Structure 1
Amino acid sequence: MTEKALEMLRLLEKNAAYSNALLADLLDISIDEVKNIRQTLEDQAVILGYQTLIDWTKVLNTELVTAMIEVKVTPTRGKGFDQVAERIYRFKEVKALYLMSGSYDLSITIEAQSMMEISRFVSDKLSPLDSVMSTVTHFILKKYKHDGVIFNQEEDQDPRMMVTP
């Protein structure tokens, strides 16, 4: 992978809305080169998609409840954790799923309209799976930072470091 492609990935990771023209300026290459690099990265499945991070607390009547669920599972012989992970990530509520080290095996992040919907997901969909031994559900009460973006940051806040004598 070229240095320009790596630079482009770093820029797009910070802001996927950068236009090809802006990327060309930032990378000091032509727009056609930007298009070619972007297309190659998409074709190679290095870039898997483009997402917008939204602060739903600022949109009326649209706030979702987010939960992180710790799951202990029994791995399947010959398939390990992959088989049960595939069954779980296919549920529409699942936003993220990770294999973890430590006291539990899988970490699931889900979103729903209410705590009751999350409860039903755990009791009706997740817990009945043969490989699932136990679950622990944590509800997110407030987001401070997500994917490197700080939420509820005061616009008039002075970004300079305070210096005291």
Structure 2
Amino acid sequence: MKINKKEQEILEILEKDARLTPADLSKMIGEDEEAVKSMIKRLEKEKVLVHYTALVDWSKVEDSEHVTAMIDVKVTPKRGVGFNETAERIYRFKEVSSVYLMSGAYDLSVTVEGRTMKEVARFVSEKLSVLEEVVSTTTHFQLKKYKHDGKIFEDKQTDNRMVVSP
């Protein structure tokens, strides 16, 4: 799909802050609010603008059980469909939040979310690894999130005291 410069500006702005209103966007790009609404509607219809989301730091929520794992998956591609059919089978599982075709030693990178490490491990052993196209998997549990989608998660406390030395 070919997009114009204003639509590209809208996409770049919304990618940084999806909470902006069409009124805010119209001021930022110097365009009429109705025109902005129309552009957004077109981008949504064509699935260029796919979803609006919030980025949550679950580590700051008390008693939240949230585990993320990145799984490298080696797959035997099927004649005529390559990796697409297997990727589709994998992304349909409710535990899977993303699937990417990768270059390198593994074919697919799968991100899985669960409440516990055991729950994620069970998904890998009972649902993912048993797919006949899956040759092998390597699971990496996320221990700490420092930066995601360009946003830094860690609050650094700066010491503003004056250094005193003899």
Give the structure-1-normalised TM-score.
0.91
Equivalent residue, structure 2, for 1:142: 144
Alignment length (residue pairs): 158
Q: Aligned with 2:38: secondary structure?
A: helix
Q: Do residues 126 (structure 1) and 106 (structure 2) align?
A: no
Structure 1 segment 1-165 matched on structure 2, within 5 A: 1-154=3-156
Query: Is residue 69–residue 120 contact of structure 2 (8 Å, CA) maintained in 1?
Result: yes
Residue 60 of structure 1 deviates from its aligned partner by: 1.5
Q: What is the Cα deviation at residue 51 of structure 1? A: 0.6
Query: How many angstroms does 1:63 deviate by?
Result: 3.8
CA contact (8 A) 2:65 2:116 kept: no
Output the aligned Cα RMSD: 1.6
Q: Which residue of 2 aligns with 1:161?
A: none
Cα distance change, pair 15–155 in 1 and its aligned pair in 2 (3 A): farther
Which whole-Å CA distance do the structure 1 matches of 2:52 and 2:120 have between them? 26
CA distance in 2, matches of 1:40, 1:87: 29
Q: Give the distance between the partners of 1:64 and 1:16, measured in 2 at CA.
A: 24
Alpha-carbon separation, structure 2, partners of 1:155 and 1:91: 40
Alignment identity in percent? 52
CA shift for structure 1 position 157:
9.0
Give the TM-score normalised by structure 2.
Answer: 0.91
Contact 2:129-2:137 within 8 A present in 1 as well = yes
CA contact (8 A) 2:146 2:152 kept: yes
Tell me which amino acid in the other structure corresponds to 2:37. K
Can you give the 5+ residue segments of structure 2 that lack an aligned partner in the other structure?
161-166
How far the C-alpha of 1:154 sits from its partner, in A, is 3.5
Q: Alpha-carbon deviations, 1:33-76, whole Å to 9, x = none? A: 11111111111111011011111111112241110001111111
CA separation of 1:103/1:61 partners in 2, compared to 1, >3 Å: closer, same or farther? Answer: same
